[in-house]
Amino acid sequence: MNLNFTKVAEDLINYGWHSSLDFFPNSLLEELRSTLLDLNENELFRPAKIGKGIKQKRVTEIRGDWIKWLSEAGDYPSTKIYLEIMNEFRLVLNRQLLMAATEFEAHFAIYPKDTFYKKHLDRHNNNPHRLITTTLYLNKDYQEEQGGSLVVEDLKQNHIVTLNPHWGRFVCFISSDFPHEVKTTTVKRYSLTGWMRSS
């Protein structure tokens, strides 16, 4: 596998974010999508909540996705390879961005038709350990009318970029610097989102 970690690291250094369509090989995307569908078939996804600990609650007016953490998903070759890649990537980022991320965590997400995730920051007082956000989209034959784009702003509310959840799109950004939202999707929307964490 010939993954261009350096290009992603350079974008993170220069702009704070990165997007590309060919970071992961197509064969791995196919396997990850099959794993997601398999987990969903077995009803292992749970409604995503907001807040932390006992204050966690489901608020569909804020986020409507269903998630499955890879750490709880059992042994799948696809997620094993994905986590190996992302942990190698973590070490590259630690070197290039002078970070000290000690782990990478990730969950599959399914946004049912007509759901969204309102504007938020991934790193905040409740969750101070997230350093880098990564998202990989697993939507075959994506069409613009399906919606579900990721809209990214900076901390001064300037629009930075709008990215559709196209098959294989890999997005990373510095978790503390980019408020973002997921626009309403008109079809089921599949993704694999993760964070490089400081602990």
Instruction: Return residues touching ligand OGA (CB under 6 A).
Output: 109, 117, 122, 135, 150, 180, 182, 191, 193
Our finding on whether 122 is near Mn ion (CB under 5 A) is yes
Q: Shortest Cβ distance from residue 161 to ligand OGA (Å)?
A: 12
Radius of gyration of the chain (CA): 16
Choice between 11 and 96, CB closer to ligand OGA: 11
β-pairing, 170-174 with 17-20?
antiparallel
Residues forming a β-bridge with 182: 117, 150
- Minimum CB separation from ligand OGA for residue 25, in Å? 21
DSSP per residue, 152-165: EE-TT--EEEEE--
Helix (H) or strand (E) holding 171: strand 170-174
Tell me if 65 contacts Mn ion by CB under 5 A: no
**CB of 65 or CB of 122, closer to Mn ion:** 122
Count of residues near Mn ion by CB under 5 A: 1
Give ∠ CA 103-123-79 in degrees, rounded to 5: 35
CB of 193 to ligand OGA, least distance (A): 4
Out of Mn ion, ligand OGA, none, which partner does residue 135 contact, by CB within 5 to 8 A per kind? ligand OGA
User: Which of Mn ion, ligand OGA, none has residue 150 at its interface (CB below 5 to 8 Å by kind)?
Assistant: ligand OGA
